[in-house]
Amino acid sequence: MSFRPCLPTQEPRLRLRYLVETVAALVVLVTVAMVGPVKAEVPLEAALATVFTVHSADAEDRFLGSAFLWGAGGEVAVTNAHVVGDAVEVRLTDAQGNAEIGQVIARDPVRDVAVISVNAGRRGLIATTATPRLGAEVWAMGAPLGIAFTVTEGRVSALARQVEAAVPIRMIQHDAALNPGSSGGPLVDNAGALMGMNSQIADGSRMFVGISYAISAQDLTGIVQGLIEETLLPLPELGLTARPVDR
C-alpha cells in the first residue's frame, strides 16, 4: 500500500483552485438565470406596451376590440375596419391605464383596415420586412373576449392564404388563439417585430378552433400608407358574388 503525501504548499493551492472554480460556476448559473429570461421577455413586453383596447367614445362605453401603435413616430394606431365600424372617435386605453380619444381618420372596409390618429411621442411597432416561414413562432396580442392585454403563443401554419374570394389579400395562417376582441391586435415574432394584424378566425366559427388569420406586415404597410396619404385605390366591385368551388 502506498500513500501520496499532501504537501503543505499544495493544499492551499488546491483549495484556492476549487474555490475559484466554484465561484465561476455560480456566476455562470446566476448569469443564465438572469439574462436568459430577459432576452425572451423584454421584446414581448415592449410590443405589448404598444397595444390598446378599443371602446366606443360615448356613454355606452362598448368594448370594440384591439389596436396597436404604428411606426417609429407613433402618430397613428391601426386596427380592423370592422372594429371601429362607422365611429368617428374611439377611446383607446394602453396597458398602463392611460386613455385617450382617437380620431378615425381613414378606413377601408373591404381590406378591413382602419387608421386612428393618436397623441404622438411614443414608439410603435415596426413592420418586419422578412418573409414569414412555416413553423415560425408567433405571438398574438390583444383583448380576446374583452380580457385586456393577453398574449397567446402559436406557430405559422400556412402562408399566403386567401380567405375571402373577392379580396386579393393573402393572409398569414397561424394557431395562436384568437377570439372575439382579438381583432385589430398585432402578431409579432420573438424579437417583437410586427408580422401582421390579427383579423379573422376560421370561417363560420364564433370561437377559436385552431385556425387564425392575420394581414401580413407587408400588405399592411402598403394599406396603411395608402390610407394616410389618400393614395390607396379602392378594390373594384365586379357586381358578382365570388365563392371557391371544388372539383
* Catalytic-role residue among 66, 182, 183, 212: 183
* Catalytic-role residue among 56, 82, 108, 117: 82
* Catalytic-role residue among 112, 175, 189, 219: 112
Give backbone dihedrals phi and psi of 4, rounded to 5 degrees, phi first.
Answer: -100, 120
As a whole number of angstroms, the distance between CA 112 and CA 167 comes to 10
Strands 99-108 and 76-79: what pairing? Answer: unpaired
Residue 82 is among the residues annotated as catalytic for this protein: yes
Give the DSSP letter string of 10-77.
HHHHHHHHHHHHHHHHHHHHHHHHHHHHHHHHHHHHHHHTTEEEEEESSTT--EEEEEEEETTT--EE
Provide the 3-class DSSP secondary structure of residue 82.
helix
Residue 2 is among the residues annotated as catalytic for this protein: no
As a whole number of angstroms, the distance between CA 230 and CA 217 comes to 19
Residue 183 is among the residues annotated as catalytic for this protein: yes
Q: Which residues are catalytic?
A: 82, 112, 183
